[in-house]
Amino acid sequence: MKRISVLAAAAVTLVVAPASEALAGKPYAATITRTTFGIPHIQARDWRGVGYGVAYAYAEDNLCLLAEEFTTVAGERSRHFGAQAKAVLGFEEVDNLSSDVFFRAVIDLPNLREGAKTLSPRVQDLMAGYVAGYNRFLKDAGTDGTPAECRGKAWVRPITIDDMLRLNEKQMLLASSLNLAPAIANAAPPGNPVPKVAISLPDPKELGIGSNGWAFGGDSTVSGRGILIGNPHFPWKGPSRFWQMHVKGPDGYDVMGVGLAGTPMPTLGFNKDVAWTHTVTEARHFTLYQLALDPADPTRYMIDGNSEAMTAQTVTVPMPEGQAPVTRTLYSSRFGPVFIVPARGIAWTAQSAFALKDANRGNQRGIETWLRIGEAKNVGEVRAAVSETLGIPWVNTIAADRYGDALHADVTAVPNVSAQKAKTCATPIAGLFAEFAILLDGSKAACDWDVASGTPVPGLMPASDQAATVVKSWLTNSNDSYWVSNPAIPHRELSPILGKYATARSLRTRSNFTETTALLAARKLDHARAQGFAFANKSLAADMAVEPLVGLCSGAAILAEPVARGCVALTGWDRRFEASSRGAALFRVFWAKAARLPGLWQVPFDPADPVNTPGTLAIDGAKGEKLLAALAEAVDELDKAGIALDAPWGEVQRMMAGNEAIAIHGGPGTLGVLNMQESRPAPWGGLMPVHGTSYIQIVGFDKKGPVADAILSYSQSTNPASPHAADQTRAYSAKEWHRLPFSAKAIAAEAIGKPKRIAE
């Protein structure tokens, strides 16, 4: 592995904002110093200045993206982009009209404004500073300084605190209500026209959200201090892209890492003592309720034998000039908004309807939680931050510290629904929803969430009933439930709302356990070995299936021509998804078909051995014939796509930067590839990554502070004209690592230009 360390031709001295006379006495002031890859280091004397500097720097890199995001959460996409056009909302494409109706109805702005008054002064200052910094950049850039993609557009406008409140609410709902936006926006009482838009019930495993995270304690490392490897899997395009930043603020706050669009400080990263990462949890952050309707009125429902009116809310969505606005009335119960998914039989009839209650609706605690994590001196303080606030919306927290402790905390804002309540309040059709959510009986008030003492919001599950573990060995998560973070120490069973217990793990989780165990069995971990581990690109599915599949080929008397070609290609494959790997494209298509075959494995799942079961590919008789048929179909599919069976993977999976094709290593998580990259057919032929490995960080500690190597796979800027639109993508392609500058001396040595001082 190479390590990048680019020094500026003329090093500059880092200037601390509070020491600058030019910034003294200004309500908003910050200094921004850029280093290699355009990473901004923001310094400010107060929290207003922190938000101010972060917003300004983010807008420099991603103005069009963020301006469009503010348009989305304001419910104005139809007006500017057309009602029928689509855009990514969360992690899925949604038509603009459904998106606008959802945000105008579900985002309760008056309630958010009231809630904001109770936020800590520093959170209020951060948000006020972000508004000022974004607006300052718009003023400084002017029309000429606005990227071509959004220059002169009416939707590029100054923002207010309301925009920040809406955006924060949207981020909290990313893994819950947001995925049912069309289902909520198009719900209407019986007798209304059937919605013309496609409405689906999301599969939690297909939402496009994932990640791997490892916390290695002192017993597993050469240094005896903790090492963290973070590998969140997030989209390559859209507002859920990560952006790197280093923030030095008041009271010793000094944190480097990443955040999403509109985040006023790092939400994933490290300080001098602690490093942390996040993975999307399997816990469900909402419940569904089946409502028994009043026979006299489908907008009333029965609670304990009494009729209760739904709350009606009429919203009006502006359309492009010359078109009449669209008005809709949505309905909510005490359990939340009514939703429909006609294709799945979830309909609003005269007898019943369905509602969704979301634990993250109105969750404004997240920023304070992440500030506390950034201030933590050890993993115990990280655990306290997530447990006391219950502000983390939908991710596991994995952390390691300089003292050699490792933490995995699956502690989030989750409904307080016990296993007994889920059973007692189940309706006859609850089993049909089991893969997606817990369905409860909405005709009984007792089926509402239980209220426990000490939680910041009534109805949340207390941290003491969720999963958190601290060890000196190691812990990891690849989006499966809390049950197993280390095969040697499985967790006790908890409420089913926190995820499945004693069930088969995904191939990515099993690969994680297998590879981690092998890594540490050889010797203890250091940075160099962690780098190789992060980009090994092994496929557990290939290790389990290729040899028996090729054996089927050699054992057959006669092979159809496509099968024979496929077997030759797989025989020569190294079973990895390196840019140079030949045969990877074929196995990717084959496994998507083979994995769906019934009776795929001879050895069934054994809860006593979740790492190695199920296993042993079933190849006898008809099962073997089906595997060869799947291989023939895969060969035919690649032939039609014009992709050679032995094409190097890096020539198939590419990202285009202008006319430059950048080879992208990594492969699908469903194949047990830890360096996950999910791709779709590209306009230029082959595949382009759309979701997967994003900000990869390896963080350890020495006597002076953190030692961090990282790379952002899709780079800092979404502006094609920026020099930082593809520079880290090239580094990722070459498996080059960047030693992040954290100290003032390192920042000054790596600065690319003079510090920018902004104030008003």
Contact (Cβ atoms closer than 8 angstroms) between residue 556 and residue 527:
no
Determine the Cα–Cα distance for residues 167 and 241; give it in Å rounded to an integer: 15
Q: Per-residue pLDDT tens for 431-460?
A: 988 888 999 999 999 999 999 999 999 999
Task: Assign 693 a pLDDT band (cuts: 50, 70, 90).
Answer: very high
- Tell me what pLDDT residue 209 has: 60
- Taken in order of first residue, the domains within the chain and their CATH numbers are 2-203+743-759 (1.10.439.10), 286-358+418-447 (2.30.120.10), 540-673 (1.10.1400.10)
Residues 487, 604: Cα–Cα separation, whole Å: 18
3-state secondary structure 504-561: CCCHHHHHHHHHHHHHHHHCCECHHHHHHHHCCCECHHHHHHHHHHHHHHHHCCCCCH
8 A C-beta contact, residue 258 and residue 244: yes
Question: How is residue 262 written in tokens?
Answer: 């509109």
Q: What is the pLDDT of residues 149-202, one digit of tens each?
A: 999 999 999 999 999 999 999 999 988 899 899 999 999 999 998 788 878 877
Which amino acid belongs to residue 408? H
Mean pLDDT over 45-73 rounds to 98
Could you tell me which residue, 492 or 18, shows the higher pLDDT? 492
Residues ≥6 apart with Cβ < 8 Å to 250: 44, 45, 46, 47, 50
Give me the mean pLDDT over the 274-296 stretch.
Answer: 97
pTM, rounded to two decimals: 0.95
What mean pLDDT do residues 7-19 have?
33
Q: Please provide residue 184's backbone torsions phi and psi, each rounded to the nearest 5 degrees.
A: -80, -45
Instruction: With beta carbons less than 8 A apart as the criterion, state whether 35 and 49 touch.
Output: no
Gap between the Cα atoms of 324 and 181, Å rounded? 23
pLDDT for position 16: 34
The dihedral through the CA atoms of 519, 523, 524, 529 has a sign that is negative
Between CA 385 and CA 399 the distance in angstroms is: 12
Summarised one tens digit per residue, pLDDT across range 662-675 is 999 999 999 999 99
Number of CB atoms found within 10 A of residue 524's CB: 16
> Is the distance from CB of 74 to CB of 163 less than 8 angstroms?
yes
pLDDT digits (tens, 9 = 90+) for 85-108: 998 887 778 999 999 999 999 999
The Cα 183–Cα 356 span in angstroms is 11
Residue of 211, 220, 694, 733 with catalytic role: 211
Split at pLDDT 50, 70, 90, the class of 205 is low
DSSP assignment letter at 460: B
Q: pLDDT tens digits for 483-541?
A: 999 999 999 999 999 999 999 999 999 999 999 999 999 999 999 999 999 999 999 99
Confidence class for position 554, pLDDT limits 50, 70, 90: confident
Residues 696-717 as b or e (16 or more Cβ within 10 Å = b): bbbbbbeeebbbbbbbbbbbbb
What is the reported pLDDT for 193? 86
Local confidence band at 20 (pLDDT 50, 70, 90 cut-offs)? very low
- 3 has pLDDT over 60: no
pLDDT score for 665: 98
The per-residue pLDDT for 206 is 54
pLDDT surpasses 60 at 350: yes
CA distance 699 to 270: 8
Q: Angle 511-407-484 (CA atoms, 0-180°, nearest 5)? A: 40
Closest CA to 133 of 173, 167, 164: 164
Structure tokens at 636: 């035919």
211 in active site? yes
Which pair of structure tokens corresponds to residue 387?
């447990």
Residue 311 β-bridge partners: 332
| Rg of the chain in Å (alpha carbons) | 26
The per-residue pLDDT of the chain, averaged, comes to 94
pLDDT of residue 204: 52
Q: What is the pLDDT of residue 749?
A: 97
Quick check: 13 pLDDT over 90? no
Q: Write the CB contacts of 229 (distance below 8 Å, at least 6 apart in sequence).
A: 212, 213, 214, 216, 277, 530, 533, 534, 696, 697, 698
Place 126 in a pLDDT band, splitting at 50, 70 and 90. Answer: very high
Per-residue confidence (pLDDT) for residue 9, from 0 to 100: 31
Going by C-alpha positions, the residue among 727, 690, 691 that lies closest to residue 712 is: 727
User: What are the backbone dihedrals phi and psi of residue 147, each rounded to the nearest 5 degrees, phi first?
Assistant: -55, 150
DSSP string, 186-250: T---TTSPPP-S------GGGSS---EEEEE-GGGBSSSS-EEEEE-EEESSSTT--EEEEEE-G
Strands 243-248 and 39-43: parallel
Q: Dihedral of the CA atoms 545, 548, 549, 554 (nearest 10)? A: 160
**C-beta of residue 608 within 8 angstroms of C-beta of residue 575:** no
Q: Tokens standing for 62?
A: 């991603």
Q: What percent of the chain has pLDDT over 90?
A: 90
- Judge residue 492's burial from the number of C-beta atoms within 10 Å of its C-beta, 0-12 exposed, 13-18 middle, 19 or more buried: exposed
Residue 684 is classified by DSSP as T
- Sole residue written with tokens 């905390």: 409
pLDDT of 19 reads 35
Task: Please state the rounded mean pLDDT for residues 292-301.
Answer: 98
Nearest residue to 648 (alpha-carbon basis) of 694, 598, 686 = 686
Which of 156, 104, 407 lies closest to 276 in space, CA to CA?
A: 407
